[in-house]
Structure 1
Amino acid sequence: MPISVFSLMLVVFSLTTGEFVIVGILPEVADDLHVSISAAGILVTAYALGMIAGGPTVTVATARIGRKRVTTGLVAVSVIANLGSSLAPNYAVLLATRFVAGLVVATFFAVAITTAVSMAPAGRQASTVAKLTLGMNLGIILGTPLGTFVGQNLGWRATFVAIAAVSTVGLLLILRFLPDQPPTSTGSVASELRILLNRDVQLAILLTAAGNVGIITVFTYLAPLLTDVSGFGSGAVPVLLLVYGAGAVVGNFLGGWLADRALMPSLVGLLTVLAAILVVFWAVSGVQVLAVALTFVVGALAFAIIPGMQTHVISTATAAPTLAVAVNASGFQVAAALASWLGGRVIDSNALGLRSISLVGAALTLVGLAIAIFSARRDRVPVNEHALRS
């Protein structure tokens, strides 16, 4: 991995850790700031809302600035916001700093992905995206438990100091090794936003949201699925999440390799297999050995679809790829919020219940599959006919 790509991946790791680690230190935050656990949980929502709001707005505002300056500026804001979180004197200030920390995430992901892709050898764009999303994998399976350990032993404020420190290392590497590149756009704001009216771009963003909402629903409630349905003790959950994470790392690189060779066919195939595996998971989740094996497979498939989806957005939005990827990241967060809400409704339903989460996830994945098939067929339409349809 080139050091320039590694520096971007390191920041992705720290940003992902910052998004998810709050879940592991909620009791410590709630006790120290004298708020309820549910109120502390709103800190997760504040970060996500920052990503949703910041995706299009921050990207458009910075589109005419050189990419290296934008990247360093965004990381600097993240460092300051995380240090602010560590020093927050009360809940309101912490809520505000988590929102600010989230504001820069979608734009950083977008600029990092488009910058890395622009430096990638021909035919290796999706594999390069996979190297960046490895930072997401590691943030979930390594950064979050490490951050939780730090928070439980040194206090929750130390967790945010550690995240800021990792981001600072990434910032220094970016300053030293990332080549300077021109702005992502030199046109007007209106011309930048016009890309979002493109039917293919809309379909690509919709594919990311619809294709991921099913698996996010399952992942959100994976721990209770493994304990209440599969019968594992609570002590086994961290190990099983590592199994999921190991599958995610494998799937991430496999998905990038497949997408480089056949982008849309690989997405159609992976979504088909994912839907089928979720049905199997629903059927055999009570068998512990099979539940462990399928946890690995589900993790692999969940992350195998990401490099191809990101590359698909970039390939359809050549006029403004950074904005499209940023909006795509915001769409992913909307899907995550929908998944959490929908999963809760399924669990509370007398007709469905917790065990049906995997089946519901499969049904939702089929919606993403339908969009992928439609997009793949649309890609095969001759250029002149395609223009008429748009």
Structure 2
Amino acid sequence: MPYALLALAIGAFGIGTTEFVTMGILPDVASALGVSIPTAGHLISSYAIGVVIGAPLLTVAATRVPRKTLLLGLMAVFTAGNLASALAPTYEVLLASRVLSGLPHGAFFGVAAVVGAGLVPFDRRARAIALIMSGLTIANIIGVPLGTLAAQQLGWRAAFVIVVAVGLAALAAIAVSVPSQHTAGRAGVRAEMGALGRTQVWLALLTGAVGFGGMFAFYSYITPMMTELSGFAPSSVTLILAVYGLGMTAGNFLGGRLADWRLLPSLYTAIAAMAATLLAMYYAVSVPYLAVPGVFLLALAGSTAVPILQTRLLDVAADAPSLVSSLHHSAFNIANANGAWLGGLVIGAGYGLAAPNLVGAGLAAAGLGLAVAAGTLGRRPAAAPAPVRAAPDADREPVGARH
């Protein structure tokens, strides 16, 4: 594999670390800046809002920018945003810096996938993209626990300093190893926008935006749950976050396999498993020997659904892959924002630290309802756009490039 793929994976590692490390250091940030944990949870939502805004806008606006230049620019903005986070003197400044950090997220992954696929033979595109995206999952095994540990030992700003260092390393690696590529006139902007007129596209996006909110309702408050309800020492949280990362990695691999086997039934099963695990975690989070396996199972179920839903989106908008790919990241981060916000609301209302699990179960159940509605509607020939596979609701389709 070309070294350029590793350079892009370093960037993905940095993005994954900054996206999820805030969950691990939430109590430290809240204490240092004098805000409540639910208020600190808005930092998670603000990053997600940056992704939601930046992913589609930057994807469309930068169609004529050479891809290597765009990658360097996006990583520079990302690094600057995290530097601002590390130096933020107040909660309000930190909130704004998290929005800035999130803006390049979706566009970077979209462009990196196109560049990576173009660096290898046609029959190796999926493996190239998988290598790039492995940086995101490995971040949850190494980057997030390391950032959390650094925050506990050196203060919360240390977590963002680590991300800045990774961002600078990614900038250097991309500059040296990624070859210059031009946009080759991505002439499908109008066609890409036309995909937004399809009901199935919106149902798939809503499934992600609503259903995955369940996972984030839990994960946003995993640290206070594990320390105050499960009774683990703060130093143990790094290991628990690594367990979550292992579940994410396993789920990503499993979801990729299931998406090529039985897409819609696998999607229903994964989201249903997420809802059931969240409901169980409302009770299990107070029992240490049940809480940790629950963390793994929740990460496994949620991450299994991600590549399946990505494949579903590519199925219903095969002629608009760039915009749909960026909107997939937007939907995922709307879920991030909604989960963190709603979880904070129930905590702030006095329902206890376990209450976000019930909220999450409700969101996952709603996402399952949307997925089933989409599948049912897709079985009606008149409702489906010009299909690119054997049948409008076929559960299998080889997708050349998958995130």
Which has a greater percent of helix?
Answer: 1
Gaps of at least 5 residues in structure 1 are: none
**Separation in structure 1 between the aligned mates of residue 99 and residue 71 of structure 2, nearest angstrom:** 19
List per-residue Cα deviations over 1:264-320 (Å, max 9, x = no partner): 332122112222333333454444323322222112112221222223323333333
Does the aligned pair in 2 maintain the 1:9–1:132 contact within 8 Å?
A: yes
Q: State the match for 1:366 in structure 2.
A: 365
List per-residue Cα deviations over 1:318-356 (Å, max 9, x = no partner): 333222222222222222222122223333557x64444
Does the aligned pair in 2 maintain the 1:213–1:364 contact within 8 Å?
A: yes
Does the aligned pair in 2 maintain the 1:253–1:304 contact within 8 Å?
A: yes
**Separation in structure 2 between the aligned mates of residue 203 and residue 154 of structure 1, nearest angstrom:** 44
**Separation in structure 2 between the aligned mates of residue 158 and residue 286 of structure 1, nearest angstrom:** 30
Q: State the match for 1:386 in structure 2.
A: 384
**Separation in structure 1 between the aligned mates of residue 155 and residue 283 of structure 2, nearest angstrom:** 42
**Separation in structure 2 between the aligned mates of residue 146 and residue 348 of structure 1, nearest angstrom:** 29
Measured after TM superposition, the shift of residue 36 of structure 1 is 3.2
Q: State the match for 2:389 in structure 1.
A: none
The 3 A distance-change label for structure 1 pair 109 and 89 is: same
The 3 A distance-change label for structure 1 pair 43 and 263 is: same
Does the aligned pair in 1 maintain the 2:209–2:335 contact within 8 Å?
A: yes
Q: State the match for 1:49 in structure 2.
A: 49
**Separation in structure 2 between the aligned mates of residue 120 and residue 203 of structure 1, nearest angstrom:** 33
Q: State the match for 1:138 in structure 2.
A: 138
Letter in 2 for 1:322: S
Give matches, 1:257-336, under 5 Å: 257-336=257-336
3-state SS of paired residue (1:65): coil
Does the aligned pair in 1 maintain the 2:14–2:163 contact within 8 Å?
A: yes
Does the aligned pair in 2 maintain the 1:313–1:324 contact within 8 Å?
A: yes
Does the aligned pair in 2 maintain the 1:127–1:256 contact within 8 Å?
A: no
Give matches, 1:149-164, under 5 Å: 149-150=149-150, 159-164=159-164
The 3 A distance-change label for structure 1 pair 342 and 170 is: same
**Separation in structure 2 between the aligned mates of residue 82 and residue 285 of structure 1, nearest angstrom:** 32
Measured after TM superposition, the shift of residue 62 of structure 1 is 0.6
Does the aligned pair in 1 maintain the 2:271–2:305 contact within 8 Å?
A: yes
Letter in 2 for 1:386: A
Query: Does residue 226 in structure 1 map to residue 226 in structure 2?
Result: yes
The 3 A distance-change label for structure 1 pair 180 and 244 is: same
**Separation in structure 2 between the aligned mates of residue 126 and residue 269 of structure 1, nearest angstrom:** 24
Does the aligned pair in 2 maintain the 1:67–1:184 contact within 8 Å?
A: no
3-state SS of paired residue (2:260): helix
Does the aligned pair in 2 maintain the 1:126–1:311 contact within 8 Å?
A: no
Does the aligned pair in 2 maintain the 1:184–1:320 contact within 8 Å?
A: no
Q: Which moved more, 1:151-160 or 1:272-281?
A: 151-160
Give matches, 1:199-238, under 5 Å: 199-238=199-238
The 3 A distance-change label for structure 1 pair 9 and 223 is: same
Query: Does residue 101 in structure 1 map to residue 104 in structure 2?
Result: no
List per-residue Cα deviations over 1:208-252 (Å, max 9, x = no partner): 112201111122233343344444454443332222222222222
Work out the percentage of aligned pairs sharing the same amino acid.
38
Does the aligned pair in 2 maintain the 1:123–1:260 contact within 8 Å?
A: no
The 3 A distance-change label for structure 1 pair 18 and 357 is: closer
Q: State the match for 2:399 in structure 1.
A: none
Measured after TM superposition, the shift of residue 96 of structure 1 is 4.9
Q: Which moved more, 1:354-363 or 1:368-377?
A: 354-363
Instruction: Quote the RMSD (CA, aligned, Å).
Output: 3.8
TM-score by structure 1 length? 0.80
The 3 A distance-change label for structure 1 pair 11 and 289 is: same
Give matches, 1:168-207, under 5 Å: 168-178=168-178, 183=183, 186-187=186-187, 190-207=190-207
List per-residue Cα deviations over 1:79-117 (Å, max 9, x = no partner): 344445556677776655443322211211222345446
Does the aligned pair in 2 maintain the 1:49–1:102 contact within 8 Å?
A: yes
Measured after TM superposition, the shift of residue 29 of structure 1 is 7.3
The 3 A distance-change label for structure 1 pair 77 and 16 is: same
Q: Which moved more, 1:328-337 or 1:85-94?
A: 85-94
**Separation in structure 2 between the aligned mates of residue 347 and residue 46 of structure 1, nearest angstrom:** 19
| Equivalenced residues, count | 386
Q: State the match for 2:398 in structure 1.
A: none
TM-score by structure 2 length? 0.78
Q: Which moved more, 1:175-184 or 1:315-324?
A: 175-184
Letter in 2 for 1:164: V
3-state SS of paired residue (2:183): coil
Letter in 1 for 2:375: A
Measured after TM superposition, the shift of residue 118 of structure 1 is 6.6
Does the aligned pair in 2 maintain the 1:127–1:307 contact within 8 Å?
A: no
The 3 A distance-change label for structure 1 pair 252 and 343 is: same
The 3 A distance-change label for structure 1 pair 233 and 272 is: same
Query: Does residue 73 in structure 1 map to residue 104 in structure 2?
Result: no
Does the aligned pair in 1 maintain the 2:145–2:242 contact within 8 Å?
A: no
